[in-house]
């Protein structure tokens, strides 16, 4: 997947939630899920 900046809205002070979202995104990038989403939903 091409590197693009993406914004996700969340309340300030939600450090645990922020860390979990980032961890999930890293897993999804590493296992190809983000590429599949991009191929299916964004590009096509």
Domain that residue 25 falls in: 12-44
Tokens of 19: 């860390």
Task: Note if the pTM is more than 0.75.
Answer: no
User: Domain for residue 35, yes or no?
Assistant: yes
Q: How many domains does the chain have?
A: 1
User: Domain for residue 34, yes or no?
Assistant: yes
2 within 8 A of 42, measured Cβ to Cβ: no
How confident is the model over 1-44, as pLDDT tens digits?
556 677 778 899 999 999 999 999 899 999 999 888 888 887 65
User: Domain for residue 19, yes or no?
Assistant: yes
Cα–Cα distance measured from residue 39 to residue 16, given in angstroms and rounded to the nearest whole number: 30
């Amino acid at each position: 997947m091409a590197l693009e900046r993406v914004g996700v809205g969340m309340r300030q002070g939600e450090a645990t939630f922020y860390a979990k979202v980032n961890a999930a995104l890293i897993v999804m990038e590493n296992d190809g899920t983000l590429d599949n989403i991009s191929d299916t939903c964004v590009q096509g």
